[in-house]
Amino acid sequence: MEQTLIILKPDAVQRRLIGKILQRFEDKGLRIAAMKFMRISRPLAERHYEVHKGKPFYPGLIEYITSGPVIVMVLAGPQIVAVTRKMMGKTFGFEAEPGTIRGDFGISRTLNLVHGSDAPETAQKEISLYFSKDEMVEFAMCDEPWSIQKENV
């Protein structure tokens, strides 16, 4: 099953939105494979966002993601990267559609509540920054036969 990294950013934590956002992922039928409550160090943030180094928004991005505690998790499910990105909505809250996480809870250009990997390959790289193989939990949810249809059925 495909996996993705999701980070509930400092603004989501400070605004007490952890439960509401997590509930949306669970309601969709996605499985939590790993989860941590932590502060992202500056060196870790720089590794995570190295693809943006040199861009005008990079310093602010590093400052933002290290400004407070976050929830970091691995979600698993079919087409998980595409599904979670659609659920999150456009990056800027004021552009995000109602019904998405950012559309319902955000309006800011920079405080955008949640990070999600942008491709399966990126997801594996990002997951390895935050979790060891030993921290990943493999299991099947009892409702999976009722929420995830097999492709060849």
Q: Which residues are catalytic?
A: 115
Give the residue among 149, 143, 7 at the shortest CA–CA distance from 75: 7
Could you list the beta-strand ranges (E) of the chain. Answer: 3-8, 31-38, 70-76, 114-116
Q: What is the pLDDT of residue 98?
A: 96
**Which domains are assigned to the chain?**
3-141 (3.30.70.141)
Whether the pLDDT of residue 153 is over 50: the answer is no
Q: Write out pLDDT tens, residues 118-147.
A: 999 999 999 999 999 999 988 777 777 777
Nearest to 11, CA basis, from 79, 60, 65, 58:
65
pLDDT of residue 142: 72
Radius of gyration of the chain, Cα coordinates, nearest whole angstrom:
15
pLDDT of residue 25 exceeding 90, the answer is: yes
Dist. CA 49–CA 40, nearest whole Å: 12
Higher pLDDT, 16 or 1: 16
d(CA 92, CA 150): 34
* Whole-number average pLDDT of the chain: 93
Residue owning tokens 């970091």:
72
pLDDT tens sequence across 33-48: 999 999 999 999 999 9
* Band of residue 151 on the pLDDT scale cut at 50, 70, 90: low
Instruction: Give the pair of three-digit tokens for residue 52.
Output: 């943006």
